[in-house]
Chain A
Amino acid sequence: MATPVETISPLQYAARIIRENPVIPLILLLCALVGLLEGLQPGIFNERWVGNTIRFAIPLAMLAACQTLTMLTGGIDLSAGVVATVSAFVVATLTPLVGGPAAIVLALVPAVLMGLVNGFGVGICRVHPLIMTLGTGLIGTGCLQVYQRYVINTGSEIPGFFEFLGTGRTFGMPNALYLFVPFAILILWGLRRTGFGRLLYALGANENATRLSGVRSWQVLMALYTVVGLIAGITGLLYVGIIRAPSLSLANSLMLPSVAAAVIGGTSIFGGRGSYSGTIVGALILTVLGTLLTLLQIPEGARRLLFGAIILAVTAVYVRITDQS
């Protein structure tokens, strides 16, 4: 009995490749955006511009890692922006008092604490992550403002290490890559090859089934949100090195774009599906898009409008491509 030969048209074949490698259309979109930019302003695509784009995409991509990891379990971390801001502000104000290394450690303490509280609420009390992280974000902002009044006279200084990472260049590429490349490899490897990474996917795909197969989901969630808090804290340290001016709302403007970067990168907000490589490309797309909209010199209102519309359009197309299976 001869098996019927499956005939597929080249178009279907292409669609299948895209579905199995969802990063490809994103990279194509990124190239198209860069091409458009080059067409609008010939000569902009040079080493300096690429370096700058990468430099500003890195904090976004790191904060978006928080969103990717939590979204894989069906959650979200809306406190990440506040956590980053708190760490950045604390490190900048404590460095003149206690020196760089001690300040870095002290700055990461609130980040881990907020992550722990998030993990406790989400993992043990079963609070919806959206609400839990909104609440801790609110508390964090309040605490930061109270803290600010005690250190108002100390002035601010950024540890030399993070200033080196944030502003320096090696061979034209930003030094922040020294931090980001190992970080990205760690996340990519962790998600694909370690048990913890697979547990995240499993929890997001079907929490009850995962629990019934003997996984203590609260431990996983607790560990996840603590790690995510730490990542957000480190992002804050790097970001203050790039911006070099600590403020009480430093990284808050990165918050919603970080969710957008993860979503554009193909991570499902319901959990169980997504990858960090997509998120990195998503962060690059958003950064290039920001440059493009600035370059067009359209008013601020229209810029935000287009930003939102493009996020929605990309996600809609993406859902259509990947959801057919």
Chain B
Amino acid sequence: MPDVVRESVFNLQFPFTRSLGSTLSTFFSALAQGQLIGVRTGGRVIAPPLEYDPDTAADAGTDYVKVGPKGTVSSWTWVPEPTHLHTVKHPFAFAFITLDGADTPMIHVVDAGSESAMAAGMRVEAKFKPTEECAGRIDDIIAFVPAADPSPSDGAGEPYAAPAENAITMLDSFCDLTYVDNTSASTLLWMESLLKGQIIGQVCPMCNRTYVGPRNMCCVDAIPLDESTLVTVPDRGVVTNFTIITPVQYPGQTETEPFVRVSILLEGTDAVMAQQSVLEIPASEVRVGMHVEAVWAPESERDVSDIGNRGWGSGGECIRGWRPTGQPDEPAENFVERMM
């Protein structure tokens, strides 16, 4: 027998492709070739470069300067237990590193083996990935490591002639966050009812509205609703609105043909169940005013693991969809003004 889900872990993942603009394109194109650069603006060299001078908001220009690959640590911290987002998987340092030829520090990883090796003033040098693996990203530098030779970097401070066209103009990034959500008391009630094959709601004692799916509050009167307000409502009602969706094949989309999603006002209630699917008839035959009834999954196949805290109207994997009852339609004009 399936059970309610009290806590759910989910990953929020999405890709971004960012355009870099001229200054950052110049920086990352040079970086992919193993060359660090800064920009001279406002009488100092900012490295890595910015498009604007943060002190004045003036255009930072294109007076590019070679910096590094060695630099000096001005502040540091130690990460004893890296997360999955850190680029180095063993204990490492983050540091402010002022590259030779630059006047402002950058933040990067220092891989020095142990915390005791770290100190302000230490000389470090950039350790790049193999050239063929460099993609024009800040992590093309695997880490800074203690400089074998602390003497100044060759060529630091010399002008850098940017190519007419940059090889790197875009940055692919990927967001990957993990959440652990706990199911609220009202959502647990909803899950329990669906597993039993019942639809429940709550009646506000102030405005008398019947909400489908308990929320433990009336969102019109802003008062809490307790379990004494719970009611079981019919699993049949009328379509109040619909849309036909032509699916775009984004990640996670399982539909391939145009499909319909409807809002359903259950008998005796005041809030629709939204985003419901219709079974047994083609999408083109769905009408506002049409009577429908729930098609329940067999008890053993019911599942509420996809119902989150805001899935008030969702039937999860308990309600397969809704089928026409064959009763004569209600007049559509009775529903077109509905908002909820």
Judge: A and B partners, yes or no.
no
- Residues of A that sit less than 8 Å from B by CB: none
